[in-house]
């Protein structure tokens, strides 16, 4: 966070300063986790269901923090506001007005947002100081928090935008208006809240609508719903994909580890790319990142080399590791929807050619009326691709097995502990195991596999 006085913060947020002079300056970072607040920092004290952040205020100030942003006077230097989220949004807007030379990149999509954000961040960091923190900081809290990591030295700010309904992305772009907007895909993620994929497209397209006329919209030409968003923006459109696109991949091939190589074409030039990350779907993600880097000024030769060096930054997302016993694990357990699960299953099939493959699949949340069909769809795909063994975790995941009735070996595990027991009883050297599911529902399985790796 750039230095600001308590008085400035109060003016921006509509708050009031208590227990401190208005001239007291916040010189450190802003945090909403009391354990992360450093000297001179500002602690945002939220009242949660299990704990009230105001209870930690005295401790963080004693440890060197400048004070807190909260809703009640607890006897420490504070800016008191009515609503912390609204205050953070206001602060983020103010900071961006003071960082006029900053290029804001916004991206959204039903799957692949965080991974692609990480790729863009790694590429742009080669061109100048870049803020693109690990993790999915894409909501009304994480979004302004990310903006507030920017300083006067920052050249690029990469912002992930999540949505669970129409108007959500419009709200975020009202905090930070991107100059470059990226839409990756439109799928069934959160479809229970959007109502339909068309509803999802309507919401995701709010990003390109917010772009200035001299901005750039990077659209996936291989996704018809995304390609159609070109009519919703006054910005210049750059299409990415494997067919009719401005930034295009041809001759895509996978190696034995599921890593893609291809020829990248852009601006009348071309060059070979060999990715270090696994999964056929990474081609689309890296094309989007490539389009952003090219617009930011990266040369194609530098770009093709750099794409081969980008890696996984945020945890539990296509994190592939080999255990000492020869088992290969694909930890893609952070979250799941039918599209991302299908991509992970295809990666498993490619990496497992000639080896025994196991997919540990958990419940996919927020699918609404598509819940049963969405789960059955990934089960059918697992059967079609010849996945040897599928372990569905939890009764809610049973439709995966119903859809994949032709799977050679199918198990319904009551919970994660039961899934671990199945693996423990019959985990063979040279197996390839995919772990995938919506938030936390398969994390214990992935962690168990990783702990064994560390033995």
Structure letter (DSSP) for residue 329: E
**What is the rounded CA–CA span in Å between residue 189 and residue 366?**
7
CA 377 from chain centre, in angstroms, equals 24
What pLDDT sits at residue 455? 47
> Given this model, what pLDDT does residue 453 score?
61
Residue 192: predicted pLDDT: 67
Work out the burial of residue 100: count CB atoms within 10 Å of its CB; fewer than 13 is exposed, 13-18 middle, 19 or more buried. exposed
Q: How many residues are recorded in the chain?
A: 455
Q: Which domains does the chain have, with CATH numbers?
A: 4-83 (3.40.1390.10), 99-307 (3.40.1190.10), 319-454 (3.90.190.20)
Which tens digits make up the pLDDT trace of 384-421? 999 999 999 999 999 999 999 999 999 999 999 999 99
Burial of residue 16 (number of CB atoms within 10 Å: 0-12, 13-18, 19+) = middle
pLDDT value of residue 190: 61
**Measured between alpha carbons, how far is 77 from 110 in angstroms, rounded to an integer?**
42
DSSP-derived secondary structure for 406-422: T-SEEEEESSHHHHHHH
Chain mean position to CA 79: 31
According to the model, what pLDDT value does residue 197 have? Answer: 87
Instruction: Give the ranges where 102-167 is alpha helix by DSSP (H).
Output: 113-124, 142-147
Task: Return averaged pLDDT per consecutive 10 residues of the chain, 455 residues in all.
Answer: 97 98 97 97 94 96 98 98 98 96 96 97 98 96 98 98 93 98 86 79 97 98 97 98 97 96 98 97 98 98 98 95 95 95 97 97 93 96 98 98 96 98 95 96 97 66
- Say which residues have a Cβ less than 8 Å from residue 282's Cβ, sequence separation at least 6: 115, 260, 275, 318
What pLDDT score was predicted for residue 452? 73
- Cα(87)–Cα(333) distance, rounded to whole angstroms? 33
């Amino acid at each position: 966070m750039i230095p600001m006085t308590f008085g400035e913060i109060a003016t921006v947020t509509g708050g009031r300063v208590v227990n401190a002079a208005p001239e007291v300056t916040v010189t450190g970072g802003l945090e909403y986790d009391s354990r992360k607040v450093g000297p001179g920092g500002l602690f945002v004290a939220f009242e949660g269901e299990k704990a009230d952040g105001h209870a930690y205020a005295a401790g963080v100030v004693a440890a060197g923090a400048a004070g807190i942003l909260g809703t009640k006077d607890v006897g420490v230097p504070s800016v008191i506001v009515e609503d912390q989220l609204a205050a953070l949004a206001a602060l983020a807007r103010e900071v961006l007005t003071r960082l006029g030379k900053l290029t804001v990149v916004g991206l959204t999509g039903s799957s692949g947002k965080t991974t692609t954000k990480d790729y863009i961040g790694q590429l742009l960091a080669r061109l100048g100081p870049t803020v693109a923190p690990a993790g999915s900081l894409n909501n009304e809290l994480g979004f302004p928090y990310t903006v507030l990591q920017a300083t006067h030295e920052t050249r690029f700010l990469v912002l992930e935008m999540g949505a669970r309904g129409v108007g959500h992305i419009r709200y975020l772009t009202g905090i930070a208006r991107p100059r470059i907007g990226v839409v990756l895909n439109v799928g069934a993620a959160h479809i229970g809240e959007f109502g339909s994929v068309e509803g999802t497209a309507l919401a995701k397209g709010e990003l390109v609508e917010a772009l200035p006329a001299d901005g750039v919209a990077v659209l996936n030409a291989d996704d018809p719903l995304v390609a159609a968003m070109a009519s919703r923006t006054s910005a210049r459109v750059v299409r990415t994909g494997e067919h009719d696109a401005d930034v295009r991949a041809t001759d895509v091939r996978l190696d034995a580890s599921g890593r893609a190589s291809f020829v990248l074409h852009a601006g009348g030039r071309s060059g070979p790319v060999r990715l270090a990350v696994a999964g056929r779907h990474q081609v689309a993600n890296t094309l989007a990142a490539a389009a952003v880097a090219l617009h930011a000024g990266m040369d194609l030769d530098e770009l093709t080399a750099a794409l081969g060096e980008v890696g996984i930054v945020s945890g539990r997302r296509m994190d592939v590791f080999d255990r000492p016993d020869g088992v290969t694990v694909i930890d893609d357990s952070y979250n799941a929807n039918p599209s991302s699960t299908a991509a992970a299953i295809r990666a498993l099939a490619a990496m497992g050619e000639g080896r025994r493959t196991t997919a540990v699949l958990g419940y996919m949340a927020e699918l609404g009326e598509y819940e049963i069909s969405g789960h059955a769809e990934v089960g059918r795909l697992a059967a079609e691709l010849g996945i040897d063994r599928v372990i569905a975790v939890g009764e809610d995941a049973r439709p995966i097995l119903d859809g994949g009735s032709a799977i050679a070996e199918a198990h319904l595990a009551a919970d994660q502990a039961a899934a671990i027991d199945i693996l423990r009883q019959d985990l063979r050297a040279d197996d390839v195991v995919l772990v995938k599911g919506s938030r936390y529902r398969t994390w214990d399985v992935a962690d168990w596999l990783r702990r064994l790796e560390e033995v």
